[in-house]
Structure formats: structure tokens, C-alpha cells
Structure 1
Amino acid sequence: MSECAKVLRDELPYNLHIFVNSVEFIAKVIDTLKLAPEAVKVVCSTSGESRQENQRKLGNAYPIGQPSDPAKKINFYTSTCFEGCDIFDPDGVTFIVSDGRKAHTLLDISTLFTQICGRIRDSRYKAQIVHVYSTTKYSKTVTLDEFVAATQRTLADAESYAAEINSLSEATRVKTLSKIPYINEQYVRIVDNRLVVEKNLANMDIVNFKISRHIYATYVNLTDELQRNGYKVTVQTYSKVVEHLAANPSARTTFQELFDEYCRLKTMTEQFFVVESPAELCAVIEQRHPLVKQAYDELGTAKVQALKYHVGNIRRELVKGLSIGDDYKIVKMINAAFQKQTAIPKNKAKERLQEIYDTLGLQRKAKATDLAQ
């Protein structure tokens, strides 16, 4: 949320226009950053009972405004402004927030996303959009193609069922429908004693699945979808390595890949409204390979690189830095270097032991008898 703080301190030349379909999210940001009412504009639904409920969430100090109200430093809009309204602010930058944990904040790239991008009519930053999002974490056992095929089969069954019932004579059809307590077929409803198939409901299911289970399932999918709809992705802050680990827990990943990504995440500054923070992404790597964190904390990036990311050398270097006697260090290094209950050729054992002596800076010549001591 550092972007908000910078804007309020006049460290950035633009105003934030944040489109997110969640009043709870807006209220949380306002509360977390202790935003002053005069610096904030909030536009959300006021129809029916929603005005009272939304105002309760925001607090009375933050009255619900209109799209045409003068822009402020930080401006929030829910779905009531995603289409059909004009916003004017030559210094406005569009931010779109999609939280994978809240389905109602996920947007179809080809429709609503594109509509939002054109809401600020006179901005000199019109060509720049910041999309802040997290993936949905849903199970990937069903692909989009499989879901579409299954939905189409269900729709075909519904049409067949409706056609069969509707082919009955009117008297028989009325009598038959009166004996059915409820219609158990998806996408079918009764209208004037006839069965009507709602194809739009099936299409809606497919669109919702595509948005929540496919487009926002991975960062790669979302990037592809943005590019497919004509958007040029210039900056990405997510972690491909962590996504790879999440998608393939048993996938082979080198220590160097994990360490380099860990270093990158550690040096990242807090991004605007990050849903998955660098710290959370680092935790995934730490769980996968605890040595990464230990090496980063105790040896540092330059030393690990100098050791050419060699895990054995890194472990020895870590032992070398322990506040214990040399003999204890030698024992720890031997335990790490030699596999238990496995025969090792004498020359190989001496070679490894000499490496340990050299690492510790000991002026000793390794002998096979040293291992027996």
C-alpha cells in the first residue's frame, strides 16, 4: 500500500483511481492507512438497502460519492462504475484490483476489464493500467475445455428433456408438470406450462469458470489473456518459480533457481495492494528448501554466488561459521558429506576429508586413519 502513502505525500505526480468490486476491501484500505476523508472519494452502489449497508462499512466520515464528483488523491469505485460512467481527471491512473480469494472481484478481460480501462476520459496516463491480482488457488483437475464439454452435454440433455415434455399434448403436459414438485434439470424452468431452456445460464457458468478457474488460476494464464486482448504487459512482479512449485510440488528445481528467486523477492519493495506479499512467496521457497534462507541470512548473496551455489560447499561454509571447536566442525561436516551405512572408497574418503580440512583452514593432511578416530 506504499503507493497510497506516496501519493498522499505528493511524491507521485498522479492520483489513484482504484476499481475493485468490494466495499470491504475499500474500507480495509481506508482503515489500515488511516486515510483522511478529504483525501478519499468512494463511489459504490446506493440502490435499495445497499446505501445504508455500504455506508455502515465505510463509516459516516466517508460519504458515498458520485462518479462526476471532483477527483481526489485516492478514488475508489465498485462495479457500479465499471460501465457507462465518465470520470475526468487528467492526472488519474487506473488501478484494477482482483483478489483471487474473492470471486466477485475477478473480471473478464475481454469485457469488464476493457470497459474499466476507458472510464477516465481525459487522463494523460490513459495508456497505463496497473492490474493488481492474485491467483485463485482452485483445483486444476478440471480444465476449461473439459468444463465446456461437460456443460454442453448438460445443456443438450436439458434441451432433449424439454423437447420431450413440450411435445406432449397441452392437457397431458399440464398434468405431467403439475405432478413434478420441482425441475431437477439444470438450465430448465417452467414458463406457461412449457419447459424453457436457459442457454444464457450455461454460457454464464462457462464464463464464470473461465474467469475463476482458468484465467486467474495462474499468472501465466492471466498474462496470456491480457495479451490476447491487446494489452502489452510491461512489468510483472509475481514469482514464476513459486507458481511452478505450487503447480508441481514434486517438480525438480535447482538450488540456484530457488536462491536467486529468493534474493529477488527479498529485495522487492512492497508493491501497491499486494495480495500475495514477497514475504509469503519467500515462505514457499523456505518450506521447499530451508537451506536457501539459512544461506541467505548467514552467508549472503555474494558468498553463495562465489561458492557457485554448490550445496555441499554452502553447508560446509555454514558449519565453518559456527562457534564450536574445529573437531566438532569436522564431525558435522563429515556427517553431511558421507552417506550413512554406505561403503566409500578410501581415496574418495581422504579426498572429502581433505576438502573439509581446507575449508576450515587447517594445516593438516588427510589420512584414512583420521576417519577412525
Structure 2
Amino acid sequence: MRKIEINVPNGMKYLTEKNEFESMKSFELPNGILNKVATGCGATTLALEDEHKTIICSPRNRLLENKHEQHPDSFLLVAGVNEPDFIEYMSHTSRPKILSSFEGLKKLKRWIVDKSDWRVVLDEFQFLLLDAGFKPDVECETLELLKDYSYVTYLSATPLLDKYLEQLDNFKNIDYYELQWEAARKIKIEWKKAKKPIEAAAEIMKMYKDEVYPKLEKGIESKECVIFLNSVTNIANLIKATKIQPEEVNIIVAGTSENENMIEKLGVGFEIGRIPLKGEKHKKITLCTSTVYAGCDFYSENALTFVVSDCHKKSTTVDIATELVQIAGRQRLESNPFRNFIVFIYNSTTSEINGKEFETMIRDKWEISNEFVESYNGLSPKAKLKKIEEVHKEQRMLYYDNDYIMYNEVTEKFEANKMAYLYERYAYDLQHIYKGGITVIKEQLKNPFFDITGKQEYIDNMSEQVEAIISKESFADRMKRYCEYRNKKGVCINMSIEELGHRYPELKDYYETLGGDKIKDLHFKEKKIINEISDRKKIDKVCFLLDQRNIDGQKITTDDIKRMLSDIYAKLGMKKAAVATNLQDLYGYEIKYGKVRMKDGSRKGGYEIKKVK
């Protein structure tokens, strides 16, 4: 990867000002990776205003909607937009600017026949990896779709994930451009370590609700706050705990039906909001998830930014090397005296697996996945269709916990999902950043825009009352309710099953895989259910590998059976003792003890093996 530095002259704040500076007049978004280094420097705006046919693609609909509001002559391609809308837009412009979701790229593959004069800007491309923890299939398919275009700009202010992304074909042998800003705005980070960061967030909200505002030395108060979290559930629970009213809070989260239902349950007046445009009024408290970490602009006159990271859960850990940099640039108004401050609240963790064990686990998992992929792609068309359904269902339930096998709808082949593999590496590294504490965290923030010299504070005595107030329907309650519905009959019951299954599709998958009785035996606990499914899927894979070895009808010594099973268990990462009777007890074979004649004429104990059809 060739690295090219571009010097941005002193006095230039936005790339859209390039024509005012002689050395930048010829600048355009490059074909390759562009590390902006600074957020809010106008790179996306440049893509929306230059003379090229451009697709600005992002996994964040909020970002796309926010940019579309600022540039209404663009075409917003999200769910519900169809080809006639696109044709109508194209008939009235010679310089099309398409703001597209990842799913929209699939439509554009069909709608745009000649792609030779189109450019693509993949905005905030670091989310290819950051989102791979919950939708790696989409990320893989997106990378495949981008191969149709000869000019792609991978745009970000935080491409600090090179060691992962450069392992992907799309990023091999492409140029890496980095902007060198002569004048850098410093963001001061105030560190607050909390045993329970979510409780700290509740205290902050209460502080603003009670009009106890943070002040600068000059006495200027911050009467608004923006709190970034990584969980909609945490947002809902914080509102319940603090008794914040609808007129006091703006909730900015992804507009999914599940999120809408969760917010509506908070009471009358609560709804998913939108980011106010410049000049519009802001509410006292804004609660955000990662849907607005990237690319969206806030124009508050006095909002202070708080970032809350609970690293005990992967889903609520903020990656301070990537997401925190994005958050730093969200407040755009220079008149806001708090725009250069971030209060970062975090905790630390311990690791359950050491580096050597992790490397062995992930290597074996990748190798066995590729073995299965090769076998699955050789299946008959009928067997392949069944296997596609099985793989989709397994990964919906287990999120690539057992293997990396996926079916790529773009290439129409089974593949080992490289994005899921890389995300597992990234998540492990991220946990170790927090394990290392403040020293390692600061090491990750070597960025010219951060002042990381501030003194660390420790929040020790958070209110125990907050934890008692925060409550929600547990997974076990929801699973139990679903099983009870499935055991009853009637039109109303069927509607309830359909509604609950639509909101929580994993309930249906779990029930159809294990059945109500088994789930009850597991006390409706999700972790136990997932472990049981994982064990069953591993049994299926053992059966598949045994079939590959053609042992049906063979006579094999006990020692050879043990060695064969041990090898399979090791490949699948199963910590299980290999016993010859496993063939009959677990894997669908009948075995009959007897003597097996060896090549030297001797006889050893073993079994005659027969597959049960």
C-alpha cells in the first residue's frame, strides 16, 4: 500500500475552499483510501458538489438523511425507494448525486447499466469492520458490489484499522492518501473512570434536568448535553431511571421497528427524533447511539459531549481509536465554547483468553470453515438450497460463534466470511485496550486533534438507586411467553406469536431448533439456549466430516476411531474426549464390537460401523 501525504495549507478549514488556495486547486477525492485525519472538513460536501456522477454510500441512514437535508438536489436511496423514482431523478439532472445505503447498492447494480463514468465515495468506511460484529454478510456483499466501479474513494477520518482492512482484496495494492493539516483544532478529553458507566450517565442526565450545569472558568454554562452510548436499551432504561420528559430529550437512534417499539413503550410523547439543522432549536438532552457517530452534524450553541463506554459487553464498548475520533467532530458551531471538550466515561475489563489461545482458536476456526465451504459448494442444487437455509439460520442465532461460513448472494457461493473473522480479531484487540487501562487507551489516541494530557478522574460513589430503578422484560420472560403462545391455539394466539416473532426473530429460530420442552429445561436462559444450539450444530458438523471419511460399512480399530474423532474435535474447537461409542451415542451410527484384522495378520479390538439411514 503506497502512502501519499497531501499538505493542507494554513488557513484552510474545509476542502470545499480548495479553489481559494493555489496548492489545492487541482485536489479531488482520490481513487483509493483518503484519511481526512479531521472530521467535519467538508470531504463529503465536496463529493456532493463536484462535477462527477457520484454515489455516496454509507451504512448509516442517519448520515445519508442528514446530508440529503443539507443537499436537497441529491437522491436519497434507502428502503422503500424504487426504480421509477430513480429514473425520474436521472431524467432531470446531468450531474447525479446518489446518497445510498449498502442495500441500495444492490439496486444500483441493476439500475445503472454503464458504470464506467461513475465514482463511488464510501463514507466512513471504517464501519465495514465496526459493523461486522452484527451484519458481516452485508459488509462482504458490499465489497463485492464495489468491484463493479473503477473509481472508489474509501473516506474516513479514522482509518486506524489498516492492519485488519488491508487483509481484504479490495484494499490490496491501492493508494493511501493522508491529509496533513497545518492548523489542527485540539479536542480536550476529560477522563472519568466509573465502575458502572451507565449509572454515571444517569447522574449526568439528572444534573442537567435539575439545571445544575457544567461551567467554564469564565462562568459560561453548558445548558445542553449530547450523550453517546452504544445501546438503545441503555437509552430507554436511562429515561425510565431519570424520569426525563419527552420535551427534555431528543432520542437519535436507528429507525428500526424494534427501536420504535422500545421508545414508544416509554410513554406518550416519546419518539425517535431527528438531528436539528443549523438554526433549529435543540432539546436539553440528546441521547445517541452509533447511528450518528459518523458524518452527522450538530449545531448547538452550548452542548457538551459525553461518551459512555461499558467494555464488559462487546455491544456497549466504544472503540476509542475510531468512534471517539468521529464523535469529537460532531459539534460544528465555532460559537459553541464547549465544542472542543469531550467527557469520556469508561471502565476496564479482564480477558478470559490469552493471546496464544486466541490465535490457535481463530486459526483453527478459519481453516475448518474453508473446509466446509469447499464441501458445501460441491453439493447438488437441491442439497445446496437446503444448506443455504441452514447456514443463514445458524448465523442468525450464533453470529459466527462456531465458524465463519456464509452464503454470498452476490457471488452465489458459500464463502468463509473474512469480515466476521477480522471483526473477531478486532473485538479481541479492543477488549485488551480497555484491559490495559488509561495508559493503553491514550496510546490509541495518537492523533494531532486530541489533547490527552488531562488528569484522570475516578467516579467512585454512583447511586445504587439507579440500578434498582432500571428494569426491562428479560429475555427469559420473553422466551417463556413465546413458548406458552406456541403451546396454545386460537386466532388471537397466532397473531401474538406472529407479532412477537416479528419483533424478536431469534425466538422463533430458537423454538424451531430446540422445541419448547428443551427450552424449558434450559430455564429459558438465552446463554444456555445458544450453547445448546452451538453444541447441536457442532454435532451436525461432526456428522458431515464423518460422512466425508466414508466410514460406513468399515471395520475400524478402537484406537483409530479415537484418533479420527480427536482430529475432528480439534478442528471444530470442541473440548471433548474422543470415545468410540460417540459414533453410536451422538452421530447416527450403529457399531458392533469385534476384532479387526491388521495388515500384519494380527487382530485388534474395534468396531464394525454402519450408518443409520
TM-score between both structures, scaled by the size of structure 1: 0.52
Structure 1: gaps of 5 or more residues:
167-172, 240-264, 276-373
Aligned with residue 297 of structure 2, among 75, 86, 93: 86
Aligned with residue 283 of structure 2, among 65, 69, 72: 72
Q: Which residue of 2 aligns with 1:24?
A: 233
Where do 1:203-218 residues align within 5 Å? 203-211=422-430, 213-218=431-436
- Name the CA distance, whole Å, in 2 between partners of 1:28 and 1:165: 44
Aligned with residue 223 of structure 1, among 441, 455, 458: 441
Aligned with residue 53 of structure 1, among 262, 269, 273: 262
Structure 1 residue 135 corresponds to structure 2 residue 348: yes
Structure index of larger Rg: 1
Q: Which residue of 2 aligns with 1:236?
A: 456
1:97-138: per-residue Cα shift (whole Å, max 9, x none)?
Answer: 1123443221222322222221221243232111112234x5
The Cα of 1:63 is off from its aligned counterpart by 3.2
Q: Which residue of 2 aligns with 1:189?
A: 406
1:211-270: per-residue Cα shift (whole Å, max 9, x none)?
Answer: 3x322335246534543456415132249xxxxxxxxxxxxxxxxxxxxxxxxx6xxx76
Name which structure has the greater RCO, CA cutoff 8 Å, separation 6+.
2
Higher strand share: 2
Which letter does structure 2 place at the counterpart of 1:237?
A: E
* Contact 1:110 1:229 (8 Å CA) reproduced: no
- Name the CA distance, whole Å, in 1 between partners of 2:427 and 2:418: 14
* Contact 2:320 2:441 (8 Å CA) reproduced: no
Once structures 1 and 2 are overlaid, which stretch shifts more, 225-234 or 109-118?
225-234
Where do 1:285-296 residues align within 5 Å? none
Where do 1:4-43 residues align within 5 Å? 4-7=205-208, 8-9=210-211, 11-12=213-214, 13-14=221-222, 15-43=224-252
The Cα of 1:146 is off from its aligned counterpart by 4.5
Higher helix share: 1
* Contact 1:144 1:210 (8 Å CA) reproduced: no
Which letter does structure 1 place at the counterpart of 2:288?
A: Y
The Cα of 1:43 is off from its aligned counterpart by 1.7
* Contact 1:89 1:120 (8 Å CA) reproduced: yes
Which letter does structure 2 place at the counterpart of 1:200?
A: M
* Contact 2:231 2:316 (8 Å CA) reproduced: yes
Structure 2: gaps of 5 or more residues:
1-201, 215-220, 395-401, 468-613
Q: Percent identity?
A: 25
Q: Which residue of 1 aligns with 2:338?
A: 125
The Cα of 1:2 is off from its aligned counterpart by 4.6
Q: Residues 237 and 84 from structure 1, CA distance in 2 versus in 1: closer, same or farther, beyond 3 angstroms?
A: same
Q: Residues 193 and 105 from structure 1, CA distance in 2 versus in 1: closer, same or farther, beyond 3 angstroms?
A: closer
The Cα of 1:17 is off from its aligned counterpart by 0.6
Where do 1:175-186 residues align within 5 Å? 175=380, 178=383, 186=403
Which letter does structure 1 place at the counterpart of 2:455?
A: V
Q: Which residue of 2 aligns with 1:281?
A: none
Q: Residues 31 and 43 from structure 1, CA distance in 2 versus in 1: closer, same or farther, beyond 3 angstroms?
A: same
Q: Residues 214 and 34 from structure 1, CA distance in 2 versus in 1: closer, same or farther, beyond 3 angstroms?
A: same
- Name the CA distance, whole Å, in 2 between partners of 1:10 and 1:189: 52
SS at match of 1:174: coil
- Name the CA distance, whole Å, in 1 between partners of 2:320 and 2:302: 24
Which letter does structure 1 place at the counterpart of 2:379?
A: V
Which letter does structure 2 place at the counterpart of 1:106?
A: T
SS at match of 1:129: strand
- Name the CA distance, whole Å, in 2 between partners of 1:28 and 1:164: 47
Q: Residues 28 and 188 from structure 1, CA distance in 2 versus in 1: closer, same or farther, beyond 3 angstroms?
A: closer
1:50-86: per-residue Cα shift (whole Å, max 9, x none)?
Answer: 3123221x32233331112632222111222222311
* Contact 1:109 1:229 (8 Å CA) reproduced: no
Alignment RMSD (CA, Å):
3.7
Q: Residues 102 and 195 from structure 1, CA distance in 2 versus in 1: closer, same or farther, beyond 3 angstroms?
A: closer
Where do 1:254-269 residues align within 5 Å? none
- Name the CA distance, whole Å, in 2 between partners of 1:85 and 1:72: 17
The Cα of 1:203 is off from its aligned counterpart by 0.6
- Name the CA distance, whole Å, in 2 between partners of 1:205 and 1:110: 17
